[in-house]
Amino acid sequence: MLEAVLSIFLIVILFAFLGSGVWVAISLLGAGYFGLMFFSDAPVGAVMATTLWGGADSWELAALPMFIWMGEILFRSRMSEDMFSGLAPWLGHFPGRLLHVNILGCGIFAAVSGSSAATCATIGKMAIPELTKRGYDEKLMIGTLAGSGTLGLLIPPSIILIVYGVAIEESIARLFVAGVLPGVMLISLFMGYVMVWSLLNPSKVPKSVIEMNLWQRIYESRRLIPVILLIIGVIGSIYTGIASPTDAAALGVVMSLFLSWASGSLTRRTFVDGLYGATRTSCMIAFILSGAAFLTVAMGFAGIPLKLAAWIGSLGLTPHMLLAALTVFFIFLGCFLDGISIVVLTTAIILPMVQQAGIDTIWFGIYIVLVVEMSQITPPVGFNLFVLQGLTGRNILFIARCALPFFIILVLGVILLTMFPDIALYLPGRMGNASG
């Protein structure tokens, strides 16, 4: 009974902080402080100091600012323009034509960015003017960008997978590799939907104006070489076990700086802006992780996670019933919190239940990212919706309606992942013993 009272108390305190507009990290620290103060004899100051230091003192966490910096560098480079020019000649004869550039462009940029908002903004800035000028349907254009932009959370190097891996002390390398096939699955589902829609609405798809022979297409595709080399360098080194994610992140920064310099888009201004942007984002995430670690310790002193897991176990829920309940829970949270906050807020509570149900933690990491992807396109706090609102000037509810079919596709993706868990587990089972 005491654990239930404490759980309710901490939840009320936490949401009171969040509702008042206090930073997420401060809210986590405050809830943990009150939990230790009123329900434990532990020295609050000493526990907070050691937990905050331990939360920040993680070698795996070193990959986070490097990948964020890599994304910031590429965000300010000409890579998105090169991807459009390299992909467009090959997609002009597909049903849906250049709308597939949005999907594949987001998928490729996600593999070198790690951020959903950066992926959506970068491809959107380039694609929206081009596709609007050529007469493509606005709703589907916005929908493909909203849905495909979420791939930045899943396709490695995913920032949110680093956060999850650090929080549960799981191999980041295996989590990265586990995200590859689910990412390919979502790209295929998105492209399949666009093809079907285009075949059903042929009058809304402009005719192709790209007439090139095979050699001309190959020549235009030379612009894809830099980003392909970057993906191979970063993801390939992790998959083969040559480098840890932290080493690969450093390699990615060096390669992205070189590619940006080679394309002529690296200036002192872009370098400094990218460094500042990466520093701000990294500090924010590290602060949230430290606050979450402190709240986790406070809950541990009270035995909440284990008691809660035992209670869930006593309900006799099957793993599929548990996942269905968690899916609804995460979608609800996604209406009010960003993806990283959802992961750090819930991991300590959810993980014992997941382990009690015998669910693989690597598979669960991919599952939780897929569900959190939905929160990127659900109002009122869907980050991708805000990005597209800024790019298009349209009402956020209009953008949410455009994104609805892709939200449903993400739900289908979760169902397929649940029915066929090897989509996430096949590649990690075959990779070398790469460390985090």
Q: What confidence score (pLDDT) does residue 409 get? A: 94
- Summarised one tens digit per residue, pLDDT across range 315-372 is 777 888 888 888 888 877 776 666 777 787 777 778 877 887 888 999 999 999 898 8
| 294 inside domain | no
| 49 inside domain | no
| 297 inside domain | no
DSSP for 331-356 reads HHHHTTS-HHHHHHHHHHHHHHHHHH
* Residue 93 CB burial class (10 angstroms; 0-12, 13-18, ≥19): exposed
On the CB side of 136, CA atoms within 13 Å amount to: 28
Q: What confidence score (pLDDT) does residue 320 get? A: 86
- Summarised one tens digit per residue, pLDDT across range 32-57 is 888 777 766 778 788 888 877 776 66
Q: What confidence score (pLDDT) does residue 346 get? A: 77
| 53 inside domain | no
| 154 inside domain | yes
Rounded to 10 degrees, the C-alpha dihedral 345/346/352/355 comes to -130
- The stretches in the chain having pLDDT less than 50 are 433-436
SS3 (DSSP) at 171: coil
The number of folded domains in the chain is 1
Name the DSSP class of 114.
-
| 280 inside domain | yes
Two tokens, residue 158 = 């995913």
Name the DSSP class of 152.
G
Residue 419 CB neighbours (<10 A): 9
Structural contact between residues 59 and 250, judged by C-beta atoms closer than 8 angstroms? no
Helix (H) or strand (E) holding 253: helix 245-262
Q: What confidence score (pLDDT) does residue 435 get? A: 46
* Residue 316 CB burial class (10 angstroms; 0-12, 13-18, ≥19): exposed
Q: What confidence score (pLDDT) does residue 434 get? A: 46
Domain that holds residue 244: 58-287+309-430
| 38 inside domain | no
* pTM for the model: 0.76
Radius of gyration of the chain (CA): 22
| 43 inside domain | no
The sign of the torsion formed by the CA atoms of 415, 187, 60, 117 equals negative
Report residue 330 CA to chain centroid gap. Answer: 14
CA angle 107, 114, 265 (to 5 degrees): 85
22-32 burial string, b = 16+ CB within 10 Å, else e?
A: eebbebbbbbb
Residue 129 CB neighbours (<10 A): 11
Structural contact between residues 159 and 286, judged by C-beta atoms closer than 8 angstroms? no
DSSP for 43-84 reads -HHHHHHHHHHHHH--SGGGHHHHHHHHHHHHHTSSHHHHHH
